[in-house]
């Protein structure tokens, strides 16, 4: 397969998928399982993207690793699909059947000989904020991205190299897998079609200064809540106050923390209501005497997800407060207080909580990253959509790169994008 593109002719049959999250994985697999050569680029050290950092999915409260495992099995079995981690595109040129994509490969400092034995982790003394846990804890600078990593291979943070541990780590590896000398490198891929599945990043809570995120460790974001509740998170799944480790029994979930707000994200991120319903369930599952307040504008539980809303609502210890809070202040005892107006009875409240979760929205990764100029357009929010719907330009987007979608909708859009890409290479064959 022309991974390095050297032997590819003018009409390449290879499909490139950019982004190894659930959308990218799905698109890549659907195309590969239809008999096409696919290259999947992931800029991080492991596939799985945002969903791999989720504790569970709504509404079934099942674990994302469950579906990822099946997808990873599919990847393992499929020789047509080539996964390149630590890679991101920096330029796209050409057109359908003949795209040239410039790819930057970040150094992993670990090569494919890695057996994931962990000797390098034992050897390093450098600690870095754990990216898998959004920096809520620290991890050895030579680390497995997570216990379910794909590929199951270690990565060494540049900090360890900067600390001068390169030679030591190299010596610690019995398999010749550590390469401290790795540099960032660039190479070209020739592909026939491209699927852009670069996903999203959580909206920066520091932009929401009224919610005092930086002023209290007990004010966290929804994605951090997922880690807090996850068995492989910083607390092994115990939902506690980050400030003191005490159980978080009075919890507030603030919806539209950034979304539906002209000052931040003008669109609705679609998933946050359901995510918070799920967070209410996390808390209630752990503590019989827990109380959860959900501050919201509209509860957007579309289609059958309505039933998830109804069943969470049936719990009398979950209160739904229709109110966009004005601000959060930290009280004398360090507990954060939420201040605002309950719109239903017009009461002004000033309520203390053990833990406040800001349901920050999804921002397309394209706001910060590279977006091809050919074939795609970026809308005002940073979502990327194909330029023309009628003509098959050979480049498509899917998942949250294309719009704020939940997992099912992302996979739906990924499957559709895979078909478009298949059409593109078949038509230019």
Positions in 288-347 near other proteins (CB under 8 A): 288-290, 297-308, 310-317, 322-327, 329-330, 339-346
C-alpha span between 33 and 81 (Å, rounded): 9
Please give the helix or strand (H or E) that residue 245 lies within, else none.
none
Sketch the per residue contact string, 253 through 292, with other proteins: x for CB under 8 A, - otherwise. Answer: ---x---xxxxx-xxxxx----------x--xxxxxxx--
Q: How many residues bind other proteins (CB under 8 A)?
A: 131
Stretch that binds other proteins, among 102-110, 132-140, 147-155, 184-192 (CB under 8 A): 147-155
- Nearest of 192, 243, 188, 187 to residue 220 by alpha carbon: 243
CB atoms within 10 A of CB 427: 14
Least distance from other proteins to the Cβ atom of residue 6, Å: 22
**Is residue 66 at the binding interface for other proteins, with CB under 8 A as the rule?**
yes
Stretch that binds other proteins, among 42-50, 73-81, 131-139, 161-169 (CB under 8 A): 73-81
Least distance from other proteins to the Cβ atom of residue 121, Å: 11
What is the Rg, in whole angstroms, of the alpha carbon atoms belonging to the chain?
23
**Is residue 385 at the binding interface for other proteins, with CB under 8 A as the rule?**
yes
Q: How far is CA 228 from the centre of its chain?
A: 16
C-alpha angle 166/169/175, rounded to 5°? 125
**Is residue 59 at the binding interface for other proteins, with CB under 8 A as the rule?**
yes
Strands (E), 45-97: 81-84, 87-95
Q: Site for other proteins (CB under 8 A): which residue of 4, 9, 10, 69?
A: 69
C-alpha span between 207 and 171 (Å, rounded): 44
Cβ–Cβ under 8 Å, residues 18 and 194? yes
> Could you give the C-alpha distances from 322 to 272, 276, 405, 409, in angstroms and in order?
15, 14, 24, 27
Stretch that binds other proteins, among 25-33, 91-99, 123-131, 157-165 (CB under 8 A): 25-33
Q: Site for other proteins (CB under 8 A): which residue of 392, 395, 399, 428?
A: 392
Positions 156 through 195 that interact with other proteins (CB under 8 A): 174-175
Q: Site for other proteins (CB under 8 A): which residue of 105, 148, 250, 279?
A: 148
Least distance from other proteins to the Cβ atom of residue 288, Å: 3
> Could you give the C-alpha distances from 345 to 321, 322, 348, 426, in angstroms and in order?
10, 10, 9, 61
Tokens of 39: 């290259």
Cβ–Cβ under 8 Å, residues 340 and 325? yes
- Kindly report the length of the chain: 429
C-alpha span between 367 and 278 (Å, rounded): 28
**Is residue 11 at the binding interface for other proteins, with CB under 8 A as the rule?**
no
Stretch that binds other proteins, among 86-94, 160-168, 216-224, 418-426 (CB under 8 A): 418-426
Q: Site for other proteins (CB under 8 A): which residue of 125, 209, 246, 391?
A: 209
Stretch that binds other proteins, among 3-11, 13-21, 68-76, 96-104 (CB under 8 A): 68-76
**Is residue 122 at the binding interface for other proteins, with CB under 8 A as the rule?**
no
Nearer to other proteins (CB atom), residue 161 or residue 199: 199
């Amino acid at each position: 397969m022309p991974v390095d593109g050297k032997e590819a002719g003018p009409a390449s049959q290879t499909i490139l998928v950019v982004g190894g999250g659930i959308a990218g994985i799905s698109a890549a697999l659907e195309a590969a399982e239809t008999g096409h050569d696919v290259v999947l680029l992931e800029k991080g050290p492991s596939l799985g993207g945002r969903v791999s950092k989720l504790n569970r999915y709504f509404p079934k409260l099942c674990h994302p690793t469950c579906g990822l495992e099946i997808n990873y099995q599919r990847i393992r079995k499929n020789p047509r699909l080539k996964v390149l981690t630590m890679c991101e595109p920096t330029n796209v040129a050409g057109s359908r059947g003949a795209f040239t994509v410039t790819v930057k490969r970040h150094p992993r400092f670990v090569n494919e000989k890695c057996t994931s034995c962990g000797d390098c982790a034992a050897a390093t003394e450098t600690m870095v904020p754990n990216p898998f846990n959004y920096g809520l804890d620290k991890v050895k600078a030579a680390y497995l991205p997570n216990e379910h990593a794909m590929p199951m291979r270690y990565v060494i943070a540049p900090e360890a190299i900067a600390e001068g541990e390169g030679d030591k780590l190299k010596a610690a590896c019995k398999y010749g897998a550590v390469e401290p000398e790795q540099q960032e490198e660039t190479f070209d891929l020739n592909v026939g079609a491209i699927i852009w599945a670069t996903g999203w990043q959580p909206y920066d809570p520091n932009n929401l200064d009224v919610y005092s995120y930086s002023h209290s460790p007990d004010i966290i974001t929804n994605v951090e809540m997922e880690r807090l509740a996850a068995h492989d998170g910083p607390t092994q799944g115990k939902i506690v106050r980050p400030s003191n480790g005490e159980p978080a029994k009075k919890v507030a979930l603030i919806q539209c923390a950034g979304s539906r707000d002209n000052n931040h994200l003008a669109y609705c991120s679609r998933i946050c209501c359901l995510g918070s319903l799920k967070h209410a369930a996390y808390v209630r599952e752990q503590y019989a005497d827990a109380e959860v307040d959900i501050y919201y504008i509209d509860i957007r539980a579309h289609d059958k997800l309505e039933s998830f809303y109804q069943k969470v609502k049936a719990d009398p210890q979950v209160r739904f407060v229709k109110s966009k809070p004005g601000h959060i202040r930290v009280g004398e005892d360090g507990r954060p207080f939420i201040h605002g107006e309950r719109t239903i009875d017009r009461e002004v409240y000033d309520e203390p909580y053990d833990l406040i979760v800001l349901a920050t929205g999804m921002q397309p990764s394209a706001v910060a990253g590279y977006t091809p100029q050919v074939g795609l357009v970026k809308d005002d929010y940073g979502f990327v959509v194909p330029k023309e719907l009628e003509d098959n330009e050979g480049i498509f987007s899917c998942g949250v790169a294309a719009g704020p979608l939940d997992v099912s909708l992302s996979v739906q859009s990924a499957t559709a994008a895979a078909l478009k890409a298949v059409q593109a290479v078949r038509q230019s064959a």
